[in-house]
Chains A and B, each alone.
Chain A
């Protein structure tokens, strides 16, 4: 029983309870960092790390935090973790850190994180909270990577910076779709994912 519940915390956010396409959280960063696959992947890892560890820390502290100031405590924890992630990125992958610019810092304001802390970590033990954090981070990341895949493929003709659209297509008049680089197409791509997802999961349809 306990194991299946833990497993549920890990697996549900991947599809049935996905933070982006079902709860519609974290859309802002999904639009901003998905023009290329690499930043999307780094963003996924960063958010997952912050989410998992902040869930664990808040879950450990949950009985000692006074209810009236819990948001402030949560913010301090998240902010500290985000600063750590930011510094690690700057040290190890400066190029991507430049590409992501403010969006790493803005992980603090990502609704998914506050949402999971409030909804899950405040009432659950550390281990399920950790799994919940990983699950939600990956659920967020799956969408980011799918969106980034299509945007990079159609917008730049590349994947992870490598040319995949062959040169003879360009020679025969093919052109990259400049609109895929712009944020509106990320929104439309997310909408398409929701469309497919809802038609597969009829119980989610309103």
Chain B
């Protein structure tokens, strides 16, 4: 089958499609013909698969949580693990398929047009995108947003590895600004299906409840009106964008990423430190005007999309800082900004998305300053020695 796709073969136009599937399914057996080359088996396909593996706990838990929130909201007594999981699975399957078909479709077409190889970058983005959106996002909106971000955030800059903004977050930002009614508020985060909700039902996320609270600190409640404990917040038993509620599962993913060396511990550590310090600061100056500031620092770290963003988004090696010093600055600012936006801008209940996107823009500048500072330092040392 392969010769038909080689140069001059009948289907040579589809060479990159064939190549993409071929290397995805088999290990290529070509070896370098000249000179000495050292090949690491860790190519970008394996990197992407590792990240997808790290996402798996969040993903599976998220699906179960959709079913669980649905059961709570509608008062269903059936709490069977598998029926809850499959309820969530069927709810999000169309979204995942939409994201992959649209995103990969555009990547394939562009790769054909330019004669490039197909890159694997979208393998991760495709699963990330549904995970950071509310469960009720209509598929056509997702398709529009994915098309927009793949074309304008990625392909126009040269494709995978050249994008300066995180594609998944651009998708979410596009959805957030284009269709605000579908992306925030208390209607979209719980999939009710056709069933009516129980009395006292509220589909608002904890951060949404706080941001719209008129009377300062309120007790955070689950969908059926029960008060959420800190353990609930940590394990993620509350409504939200379905992939990012469980800090526990994110920690499992974090371990996978750190052990395999995919994510930078510098970014994550400094990000958590930044968010913690900002939360302490906000907590010390808590006011009724900005109710989110009443949250304890550890609650801030567990709630909303912050943990997910700092582990899976901020560490994206393409859009983050390259230099080690830069990574500390970059991570710290993401953490601090995420909490700052979350606390003091009531229009945006969650600031992690905007913080990461903003710092993506500044990452090259930070790198530039770090590199130049290093050059100057060494220059100074060199000139002193010469005298």
Give residues in A with beta carbon < 8 Å to B: 173-175, 177-180, 182, 188
Contact = CB atoms under 8 A, between A and B. Distances in A.
A29 B288 CA distance: 40
A188 B152 contact: yes
Contacts of A182: 177
A179 B174 CA distance: 7
B52 to A, nearest CB: 29
B152 A175 contact: no
B152 A177 contact: no
A145 B334 CA distance: 39
Contacts of A188: 152
Interface of B: 138, 140-141, 144, 152, 174, 177-182
A173 B140 contact: yes
A177 to B, nearest CB: 5
A177 B176 CA distance: 10
Nearest to B176: A179
Nearest to A155: B178
Given A173-B138, A173-B140, A178 B152 contact: no
A179 B178 CA distance: 4
Contacts of A174: 140
A175 B141 contact: yes
A177 B181 CA distance: 11
Contact of A180 (B140, B141, B152, B178): B178
B180 A178 contact: yes
Specify the main secondary structure of chain A where it touches its partner: loop
A186 to B, nearest CB: 13
B131 to A, nearest CB: 22
A191 to B, nearest CB: 8
A177 B138 contact: no
19 contacts: A173-B138, A173-B140, A174-B140, A175-B141, A175-B179, A175-B181, A175-B182, A177-B144, A177-B178, A177-B179, A178-B177, A178-B178, A178-B179, A178-B180, A179-B174, A179-B178, A180-B178, A182-B177, A188-B152
Contacts of A177: 144, 178-179
Contacts of B140: 173-174
B21 to A, nearest CB: 30
Given A173-B138, A179-B177, 13 more contacts: A173-B140, A175-B141, A175-B179, A175-B181, A177-B178, A177-B179, A178-B177, A178-B178, A179-B174, A179-B178, A180-B178, A182-B177, A188-B152
A173 B140 CA distance: 9
A49 to B, nearest CB: 35
A31 to B, nearest CB: 15
Contacts of B177: 178-179, 182
A173 B179 CA distance: 12
A180 B178 CA distance: 7
B134 to A, nearest CB: 14
A180 to B, nearest CB: 7
B69 to A, nearest CB: 22
B304 to A, nearest CB: 22
B32 to A, nearest CB: 36
Nearest to A174: B140
A175 B182 CA distance: 9
Closest 9 CB pairs of A and B: A179-B178, A179-B177, A177-B178, A178-B178, A175-B179, A173-B138, A178-B180, A178-B177, A179-B174
Among A174, A179, A180, chain B packs the most CB atoms within 10 A around the CB of A179
Nearest to A192: B152
Contacts of B141: 175
A27 to B, nearest CB: 18
B287 to A, nearest CB: 30
A175 B141 CA distance: 9
Nearest to B141: A175
B193 to A, nearest CB: 16
Contacts of A180: 178
A180 B180 CA distance: 12
Nearest to A180: B178
A185 to B, nearest CB: 9
B182 to A, nearest CB: 7
A188 B149 CA distance: 12
A72 B138 CA distance: 57
A6 B179 CA distance: 49
Contacts of B144: 177
Contacts of B182: 175
A195 to B, nearest CB: 8
Among A174, A175, A188, chain B packs the most CB atoms within 10 A around the CB of A175
A173 B180 CA distance: 14
Contacts of B138: 173
A182 B181 CA distance: 16
B167 to A, nearest CB: 16
A14 to B, nearest CB: 26
A50 B247 CA distance: 61
Nearest to B174: A179
A42 B177 CA distance: 28
